[in-house]
Chains A and B, each alone.
Chain A
Amino acid sequence: MTMAVDVRALSKRYGQKRVMDGLDLEVRPGVTGLLGPNGAGKTTLLRCLATVLAPDSGEMRIIGLNPADGAQRTELRRQIGYLPQDPGLYAHFTSAQMLDYIAILKEMTNRRQRAEEVRRVLTEVDLTAQSNVKIRKLSGGMRQRLGIAAALVGDPGFIILDEPTVGLDPEQRMRFRTLLSRLGETKIVLLSTHQTEDVAALCERVIVYRAGQVIFDGDPTGLAWQAGGKVWSTAERPVGDEVYWRTTEGRYRVVGARPHDGEAVEPTVEDGYLRLLAEAEEEVA
């Protein structure tokens, strides 16, 4: 099994809107973050990689398999774990039932092995105590963790997670980062997120995606330095068009042109991401 995802000239449009426009992409084992504004096309890309959606054109080679071929697509689906943006879980199942059902649909036919696998993934997401609780009684965060567990059933080689940390509290998010870090050692993990701190903490590689195009592909440090020399701390509120926000110290953090009393500060991933988007907006304008 070739542990790689190769995408060539992938395109997809909805009506007049191009959400993927000749996209080229390579993903290797490790944790890769996909950042981008709403409507950029991230979910469409993930759905195509998960074989939920067929692209209009282009080629994909996922773990050495071609999803355009029926037989290879079925084989590929045995190797994919997918958490959609809104994981629909059947409210009348218990957590264990839901995962058992997913396991069967992943062709795990041995009942004892399925039970062990269900226990394993529930432990991974710290939901063992809720294994016999109906899903309708779980909190939003618990349901999200259950969705993550569903993606991990069968120990897939390619894990696709769309907004996985939504609804997780800080402790759960830390636990999730630990889990992903471990998975990334041997598997291809691609996660889409708005949480730049998750990207900074856990991704070896970041892809910034906007309007169907990749506008950055590199490591988090490189993304942060997109705002190098353009991040300032000032006591007065800026008056121009720069991006800024008020910090907990009561000062203003500005990304862009130096305000008149601004002090240079080290950029973060978020700064770099915002700077990149701002520059892309300027180019379009």
Chain B
Amino acid sequence: MNRPFGALVLFETRLQLRNPIVLFLAVVTLGARTFTSWQQMPNWSVDTVDTATAVLILGAGAMLASNLATLRDSRGGLAELLAPLPVRPRTRTLAVLVAAVSVAVLLSALIMALHFATLLVGSVPVGRFDITELVTGVVMVGLMAATGVALARWVPGLIAAPITVLVLVWAMFQFPGVWLLPVVPDLKIAIDAARPPLWHLLYAVGLLVSVFAVAMLRHGVRAWPGTLLVAGLVAVVFGGVLTTTSPEASSPSANASRGRSDRLVTAGADHCETLNGVRYCSFPSFAAWIPLWQQAVDPVVAAAPPAARTELPSIVQRTRTGKFDLQAQRTVIMPDTSWGRNGGETASRRSLAAQMAGALTGFPPITVRETIDGCDARNQSRTVIALWLTGQVETAVEPERTHSQVRRPDGGEGTRTRATSDLGSVDYGDAELALAAKLLASPDAQKRIWEHWDVLVDPATTIEQALPLLGLTGDVPVEQPGGTPCR
């Protein structure tokens, strides 16, 4: 390598590594990804895409930094000072290109590696790991750095790079399903949705090479930048055409739009196991979570009397959007494609345990709403039993209530309260929680519950009627149901 060029590359690399924009956005990218994913189990199918998307934030910083570095020698009279120096402008441009792209690529790869290291903490990963997705993301960050240099040479002016960043952000949001974008966003309605093939990486590399060549061509048409541009454009066209015409691009998952699908939410949950009398079905790439579900379900089932375990609901995984099979809903519990970790697992375990407890005590499944407003299970003894069953895994918590103003049929105005709890759209009060806690602390609670099970889970049995059966006294006043009582 020409020695002045090498020294210049090192100089520019040190500047890029110390650039406050780059450093700040690198920290923001890593911090944001870590923060948003810390309490979520990793799903490689999603996390690879989300991480490749997130590093585009760093890419924006790399574009701004490389743009400023290149504009340096045309600002404030510096051009006059540098004009009589032996190292020419094209060498300076090439040095900034090499330095900026190298730093952008290395930093983005480092951020990805650090982030994935954090994903492994306390995790049971699922999904399909696609290294190509990550490599393409890194290449795209390098492309953005190269674009900053090209902009500085062809459109010198401080505003060009920020405007370009805004245009790219707009395009990402405006055309989310287009497979020629830097990162094709995840289509969360489909599990293991088809991802762009290897041709997308070729397309990305072609873009990087082309922009690199365009930046250098500003200093005159020469053999190697011209050749590089031709090669880059060939790769762009080839890779782009093969990407958009690939089987993956025309697959149903790629064409399904967000929020609308004719597929059942459980379609594809074909990996099934029966463990301790409970049938678990997950999407094939999520099978590693079945033991986690079992850990949240087994204690609840074991705490119910044997007679209540004869018809246990199945645990069938679902996606977050799609159609529900109304016939099947009452016989299945449907955990979705997320699970917590690092403290977040408490809510996941509690939710699944409560759904099984609700099924055992006759509550409607969480995915069914008896009425638009849900139902009110206050002053029902089965509510206490359901919360006690839930407490075998995690302590039950208060429902969340939202209030809204509505117009009554008589024309007047009223307030509608909607409760959401781990039992579904089921409301309950402090008395129920307090009694469940007492039961959990009582050594003979299970014996009493098993002895009077049928009475206790009857929707018509009130708490007052249940207290002597449970051997408890009620210290907290029992509220009467405010809405439609749960049947």
- Give chain A's interface residues, CB within 8 Å of chain B: 50-52, 74-75, 77-78, 80, 82, 84, 86-91, 100-102, 104-109, 111, 114, 147, 150
Contacts and interface: CB of A to CB of B under 8 A. Distances in A.
Given A104-B4, A104-B8, A111-B7, A150 B87 contact: no
A51 B86 CA distance: 10
A75 B85 CA distance: 10
Contact of B76 (A52, A88, A150): A88
Contact of B4 (A77, A87, A109, A111): A109
A88 B79 contact: yes
Interface residues of B, number: 21
25 contacts: A52-B84, A75-B86, A84-B81, A86-B77, A86-B80, A88-B75, A88-B77, A88-B79, A88-B80, A88-B81, A89-B76, A89-B81, A90-B78, A100-B11, A101-B11, A102-B85, A104-B4, A104-B7, A105-B82, A106-B85, A106-B86, A107-B3, A109-B3, A147-B81, A150-B81
Interface string B79-97: 1111111110000100000
B8 A87 contact: no
A84 to B, nearest CB: 4
Contact of B84 (A77, A89, A101, A104): A77
Nearest to A82: B84
B6 interface: yes
B72 interface: yes
Which of A51, A80, A90, A107 has the most chain B CB atoms closer than 10 A to its own CB? A107
A77 B7 contact: no
B84 A50 contact: yes
A113 to B, nearest CB: 11
B11 A74 contact: no
Contacts of A88: 75-81
B84 A80 contact: yes
A105 to B, nearest CB: 4
Nearest to A106: B85
Contacts of A109: 3-4, 6-7
A166 to B, nearest CB: 14
Contacts of B72: 90
Contacts of B75: 88, 90
Interface of B: 3-4, 6-8, 11, 72, 75-87, 92
A77 B86 contact: yes
A105 B9 CA distance: 11
Contacts of A107: 3-4, 86-87
Contacts of B4: 104-105, 107, 109
Contacts of A80: 84
B74 to A, nearest CB: 9
Given A87-B81, A107-B4, 17 more contacts: A50-B84, A51-B84, A74-B86, A82-B84, A84-B77, A87-B80, A88-B75, A90-B76, A101-B11, A104-B4, A104-B8, A104-B11, A104-B87, A105-B4, A105-B92, A106-B86, A109-B6
A67 to B, nearest CB: 10
Contact of B86 (A52, A86, A105, A147): A105
A150 B84 CA distance: 12
B396 to A, nearest CB: 59
Contacts of A106: 85-87
Contacts of B79: 88
A269 to B, nearest CB: 29
A52 B78 contact: no
Which 5 A-B residue pairs are closest in the complex by CB-CB distance?
A88-B77, A88-B78, A109-B3, A105-B85, A88-B76
A147 B78 CA distance: 11
Contacts of B87: 104-107
Contacts of B8: 104-105
A109 B8 CA distance: 9
Contacts of A150: 81
Contacts of B84: 50-52, 77, 80, 82
A78 B86 contact: yes
A91 B72 CA distance: 10
A77 B77 CA distance: 19
A70 to B, nearest CB: 11
